[in-house]
Amino acid sequence: MLFGAGGAAAMRPGSAFVMCSTVDPNWSSRLEVRLAEKGILYLDATISGEITIMTEGADAAYALCEPILKYISARFYKLGAKAGAGSKVKIINQLLAGVHIAAAAEAMALGLREGVDPRDLYEVISNSAGNSWMFSNRMPHVLDADYTPLSAVDIFVKDLGLVLDTARASKFPLPLASTAHKMFMQASRRRPRRRGRRGGDQDLPGHRTAQQAGVAARGRPAARLHRRRFHGRHRPSPTISCARACARCR
């Protein structure tokens, strides 16, 4: 679209194009060169979280765009004079975000499996070394049975794919990112009619287990959640039971 009718062809030389999407860093570098051939400035300005903007580009591009981007951002970073560095930082950020979502879901699901009160677990982890931005941001929605989409599943399929492509090119192994990518791929395939529309974490196996176990139980006591999960007549399998003779079952 950029190089179609009404795109770059309609832009005046000396104007600037700002890229805010998460893209392949090498593609971003090539785009800068292609636009420069038309006399158009390019600023790579990826965005994350609560409007953190990671930028790089020529001084002339900053002269046009920096005041506006600083105005709309909470944090503004200048990472270099050529496109690519900001996109690299962004996909590294997405590596952490994707892995943290998957880990948060697994942690909550394990806590339920072991009969831990989910709200106590959330409170303790939120104030301990195991906390992350994703845990603090996503888990309250699980506790409150709020499955309103927060981001698309396929965003992390794409972004973690970019992470793995970048690492593969330099032969750098990323086992955690690879596992998280597979989890998001599985979640995406499970909902082909709504692919990309569900929240980025709501369909992950750990979140699904948490939902089934009653984390989204609208305030039911933890003891009741435990009984329903491990001792109810509708439990998933007769082989699923307490790992030990816990206090809730004595």
Tally of domains in the chain: 2
For residue 237, what pLDDT band results from cuts at 50, 70 and 90? very low
The model's pLDDT over 186-195, given as tens digits with 9 standing for 90+, comes to 888 876 554 4
Question: Which pLDDT does position 230 carry in this prediction?
Answer: 53
Question: Which pLDDT does position 42 carry in this prediction?
Answer: 92
- 44: domain CATH number is 3.40.50.720
Q: Give catalytic status of residue 158 as yes or no.
A: no
Q: Does 3 fall in a domain?
A: no
Q: What is the mean pLDDT of residues 32-38?
A: 90
> Smallest Cα–Cα separation from 64: which of 81, 44, 83, 41?
41
Same domain, 111 and 19: no
Domain span at 96: 91-249
Q: What is the length of the chain?
A: 250
pTM: 0.74
Do 16 and 36 form a contact (C-beta atoms < 8 A)?
Answer: no
Same domain, 216 and 129: yes
Q: What are phi and psi of 47, to 5 degrees?
A: -125, 145
Q: Does 151 fall in a domain?
A: yes
Q: Does 79 fall in a domain?
A: yes
Q: What are phi and psi of 97, to 5 degrees?
A: -60, -45
Minimum mean pLDDT range among 73-77, 99-103, 235-239: 235-239
Q: What is the mean pLDDT of residues 48-64?
A: 91
Mean pLDDT, the chain, as a whole number? 80
The model's pLDDT over 82-135, given as tens digits with 9 standing for 90+, comes to 888 889 999 999 999 999 999 998 999 899 889 999 999 999 999 999 999 999
3-state secondary structure of 46: strand
Same domain, 127 and 56: no
* pLDDT tops 90 at residue 152: no
CA atoms within 13 A on the CB side of 126: 12
Same domain, 232 and 108: yes
Same domain, 16 and 139: no
Q: Are strands 52-57 and 41-48 parallel, antiparallel or unpaired?
A: antiparallel
For residue 143, what pLDDT band results from cuts at 50, 70 and 90? confident
- 156: domain CATH number is 1.10.1040.10
For residue 231, what pLDDT band results from cuts at 50, 70 and 90? low
Minimum mean pLDDT range among 58-62, 72-76, 149-153, 165-169: 149-153
Among 90, 158, 171, 182, the active-site one is: 90
Q: What is the mean pLDDT of residues 10-15?
A: 82
Residue 102 or residue 223, greater confidence: 102
3-state secondary structure 121-146: HHHHHHCCCCCCHHHHHHHHHHHCCC
Question: Which pLDDT does position 208 carry in this prediction?
Answer: 55
Q: Return d(Cα 145, Cα 103) in angstroms, integer.
A: 19
